[in-house]
Structure formats: structure tokens, C-alpha cells
Structure 1
Amino acid sequence: MASFIVRRLTMAAGLVLLVLTLIFAALQFVPGDPAVLLLSTGTGGAPSPEAVERVREQLGLNQPLFAQYAQFLGGVVTGDLGESFRTQQSVLQAISERLPRTLQLVLLGTVLSICIGVPLGAVAAVRGGWADTAVTALSSIGMALPVFVFGAVLILVFAIALGWFPAGGYVNPLHDPVGALASMILPATTLAVGFSAQIARMTRSSVLEMRGQDWVRTARSIGLAPLVVFRKHVLRNALTPVVTVVGVGFGVLLGSTVLVERVFNYPGLSSLLIDGVTNRDYPVVQGIVIVIALMFIGINIVVDLVYGVLDPRVRRS
């Protein structure tokens, strides 16, 4: 297990370096001079060449490309992601304020997806018949339904018509846990619709495959109770691919929150990203992309480790 962990961490380190290199390279093709953009923010005329050159020197833009790359990597390692062109706030501070809100939303959406998708997929595989047909149909609808449409329907029904939940906004869970949970129910449910459909389909396929394995038939033949056979020999092995779907889907949900946060006026990381793109605030956009990329890589490493725990054969790969 130790060698398996070392191999995965080594691969992750190489992948992180590759991703950071691609992000740095992409920034070189962004049109416009960051120094000119910084000086032009909030002013009417074009900045003087002397002022532009002074800012370029402060930002290190007049240095050779390799020196800028080394400075970029050093900033990521030390947590210095620069300052916002628009607000002059530290990018890391701005992200640290918004990221926990998005993580709360994504985590709740993931939990709801697992609680809905795994039981539905298992029931569809075990019961078959009308249950299988119903779950398959619901899964297809859930995967095809746009999140902004479903979110708007939830607001119309449960916020406006019934008044059960707030239509949007954010409540700090440290100040009002109940209010915070209520404010996240509708957006988290919107996120969970498509994700739970994917989990249900994967669980169904995996359970059907595991039920036909030799060890399952052997367990039944020696007289083990059906519930014991399902729990120990079917579901445990069937959850291995489901874990992969959940891990990858968690990272995908971080990107899916862009529309959801806009629909529900939720001040999370995705809203900050949209504002950064709108205002051409390159340091903010760059910092958010770096953080999301690193989180996605970290999630995949955790998934690999959990995969190795569930299936010892993976450790030898």
C-alpha cells in the first residue's frame, strides 16, 4: 500500500507541474498588456509609456520568460497569487472568502446525489421490471434537464409559491446553521439532479455485473442470507466504479456551480470567476483556475487511494 501511495503522489506532482505550466503558457497568449490594463482601470485616458514600463518592472513582465515562469511557480508554492486589478485585494484572500461557500454547496449536492443515486440504482438492478424502467427514465430526464431550468422551477414552486425555502442568497452557517442549510437546499438539489442520475446509472450497471460473478453464486450456494450476500459480496464490489464517478463528479460540480450560483444569487467562487472574466481581472481568473485545477487533481488522488482500499488488485497496477 505504501508503494501504491508513493506512485500516486509522484504522478500527482508531475501532473500539477504540467497543469501549472499550461496555465502559465495560456496567459502568454492573452491579448493586451497587463500593465496597460492595470493602469487603465478606472481612468479615462491611455497611460503614459513611462508609467507602463514602471508597472511592468514591478510585475516582473520585463524579465525573461523563464524568470517569469520561475516567479509564477514560486508564487503558487508560497500562496502568492497576486492582487486583483480591480479591487487591489489579495487574490488568495478573495478566493479563501468565496471557496468555502462553494465547497459547502458542492459537498451538500454530492451527499444528496449519493443518497439518491446509490439506492435508486441498487433497487433498479435488484428489482428489475417497472422499478428498473422508472429509474432509467428518471435518470435520462435528470441528465438531460438543464440546471438553470430546473433551478428556476424550484424557485418558482418552493420559494415563491410555497415559501418553504429562500429564493437565493447566502447565510453563514456559523451564525445561523438552520438558515444556512435552508438557503443551500434548492441550489444543492439543482446540482444533485444530474449527478444523482449518473450515480444511479453507474450503480445499476455495476450491481448487475457483480450479481453474475462466480463468488456471488458461491455465496448463495453455501446458504448465506440474501441481504448478507448483497451487502458484502455485491454492493461492496459494485461501489468501486461508483467511487470513481463520485470523485470525478465532485470536481465537475465545482464547474457546474457557475450557472447555479447565478440563478440563486449565491456569492461563491464561480460568481467571483464570472466577475473576473467580465472585468478582465486576469490575476483573479488565473488564481481561481489554479485552485480549481489543484483541487481536481487532489480529488482524483483521493479517489485512487479509496479505489485501492476497495480493490486490492489496483495497488499492484
Structure 2
Amino acid sequence: MLPYLFRRLGAGIVLVFLVTGITFALTYTADIPVARNILGPQATDEQIAILNARLGLDKPLWEQYTDWLGGLFHGDLGKSYFSGQDVTDALTSRLPVTLSVVVVAMIITLLASTALGIASAARRGWLDNLLQGISTISFVFPGIILGIALVYVFAIELRWVPATGYTKLADDPRAWFSSVILPAIVLSIGGIAALAAQVRGSLIDELDREYVRTLRARGVSERSLLLKHALRNAAGPALTTFSLQFISIFGAALFVEKIFALPGYGSYAFNATLQGDLPALLGVTVFGVLLVVIVNLLVDLAQGWLNPKARLA
């Protein structure tokens, strides 16, 4: 298992270099007037040239990238061109906001989709059709409309939760949950449909296998058959879909951060892209790639635990 882990981590490091290199090249070739954006339209050409030299933007592309890599090896992601804030500090303060919403959304997605998938596979018939219809509607329903509706009902009319803003978990767990539950529900809607369909399909395939018929003939209860045997074997494909949903939800977090005014990772990445703030943009890229690598690695380990046949030596 350890060689496998080292290979995956090594592949993740290579992926960081490739993605950041491509990001660097695309940003450089986009010819974003960073110095002009910082100084404003009234700045002279001389002032712009001085600022470009101070930021290192007058250097060749390869030299700028190697300078950035040198800082990365020392744990320094640089400072924002616009705010002057250390990129690492900015990301470590904003990433918990986004992860709070995403993790709660994934818990909702996992619980709801598993329940829907099991019910659909076990009951079939009208219940299966009803649940599939609900899943399809949740998949195509626009999240932004749902977000606005939830804010209106639960924040404005009922006043159960705040309409906007974020409270740290360490400051007040109850207020933290109130600040993330609505954004999490909005993010989870589409994921529930996709994952429930995967759980349902995998379970139906497992329930039609020979070993299930053998266990049923031996008198094993349907509940034990479904939850202990079939569900565990069907979890592999569902876990793969779950990891893809995590990445998708993490990327979609930007929209709920805008709706609910959350100071998260997505908003920071969006602003860095618009401004051409290269240090911030590269920091966002590094954190994003590492997060994807870690999530995929955890999913692989979970699959190995659920299905010993899938474990790698």
C-alpha cells in the first residue's frame, strides 16, 4: 500500500507543476495590464514600467515561473499584487469557509442519495419511479433560484437562519451551522440526483447476482442482504461518483458564496482571475489541485477498505 500512496502523491506533485505551468502561461499570454489595473488609468508609462520591474513582470516567462517555484519550495506563495496580503494567509483564512459549506453539502448528498438509491433499488415499482422523478427534478432545477427561495423563506420570512455572512465554527458552533446549512443544501441538490442514480444502478446489479440468490436461499434476511452484502459491494462505483461530486460541488461553491455573501475560496479565486493577480491565482491553483489529489486518494483507500479485492499491494 505504501508504494501506491507514494506513487499517487508523486503524481499529484507532477500535476501541480503541470497545472500551475499552464496557468502561468495562459495568464502571461492573456497580456492583462496588471500594473495599469493597480495604478489606475491616470498612471504614466514610466510609472507602469517601474511597477512592472518591481513586481518582476518585465522578466521572461520562464524566469518568472522559476522564481515562483523557488518560493513554493520554501512554502512561500508570494503576495497579492493588489492587496499586498500573503497568499498563503489569504487562502488559509478563506478555505475553511468553502470547505465548511462543501463538507456539509457532501454529508447531505451522501445521506440523501444513499437513502433514495436504496429505496429505489429495493422497492422498484411506483416508489422507484417517484424517487427517480424527484432526483431528475433536483438535477435540472436551477440552484440560484433555489438559493434565493431558501433565503426568502427561512432567512427573511421565518428568520431561522441568517441570510448572509459566515460564523467560524470555533466561535459559535450553532451560528456556524446556521450560516452554512442553506448554501450546503443548494450545493447538494444536483449531487443527490447523480449519486442516487449511481447507488440505485449498482445496487440493482448486485441484487441480481448469483451470490445474492444463494444467500437469500439460505434464509438471510432481505435487510441484511441489502445493507450488509449488496450495498458494500455496490459502494465502489458510488464512491467514484462521490469523489467527482465533491470536485464539482467545490467548483460550484463560487455561486453560493456570491448569493450568501460568504468570504470563501471561490470568491477569492474569481477576483484573482478578473484582476490577473498571478500570485493569488497560482496559490488557488495549488490548493485546488492538492485538494483533488487528496480527495481521490481518500476515495481509493475507502474502496480498498470496503472491497479487499480492490486493494493494491
Separation (CA, whole Å) in 2 of partners of 1:183 and 1:153: 16
The CA RMSD measured in Å over matched residues stands at 2.2
Determine which of 144, 156, 176 is the counterpart of 2:140.
144
Q: Name the structure 2 match of 1:46.
A: 43
Q: Name the structure 2 match of 1:7.
A: 7
Report 1:1-317 matches (<5 A): 1-34=1-34, 36-37=35-36, 41-49=38-46, 51-316=47-312
Question: Which string of whole-angstrom CA distances, capped at 9 and with x for unpartnered residues, describes residues 249-268 of structure 1?
Answer: 11211111111111111221
Question: Which string of whole-angstrom CA distances, capped at 9 and with x for unpartnered residues, describes residues 17-59 of structure 1?
Answer: 322222222222121354x33xx5244523443x555444443
Q: Which amino acid aligns with 1:269?
A: Y
**Structure 1 unaligned blocks of 5 or more:** none
**Structure 2 unaligned blocks of 5 or more:** none
Q: Which amino acid aligns with 1:141?
A: I
Counting matched residue pairs gives: 313
SS of 1:41's partner is helix
> Normalising by structure 1, what TM-score?
0.90
> Normalising by structure 2, what TM-score?
0.91
- 1:170–1:183 Cα contact (<8 Å) kept: yes
After superposition, the Cα gap between the structure-2 partners of 1:41 and 1:24, relative to the gap in structure 1 and judged at 3 Å, is closer
Q: Which amino acid aligns with 1:23?
A: T
- 1:215–1:233 Cα contact (<8 Å) kept: no
Question: Which string of whole-angstrom CA distances, capped at 9 and with x for unpartnered residues, describes residues 180-234 of structure 1?
Answer: 1112111111111111111111111111011111222222222222222222210
After superposition, the Cα gap between the structure-2 partners of 1:70 and 1:281, relative to the gap in structure 1 and judged at 3 Å, is closer
SS of 2:85's partner is coil
- 1:5–1:305 Cα contact (<8 Å) kept: no
Higher relative contact order (CA 8 A, sep 6+): 2
Deviation at 1:150, TM superposition (A): 0.7
**Aligned-residue identity in percent:** 33
Q: Which amino acid aligns with 2:88?
A: L
Q: Which amino acid aligns with 1:2?
A: L
Separation (CA, whole Å) in 2 of partners of 1:292 and 1:285: 11
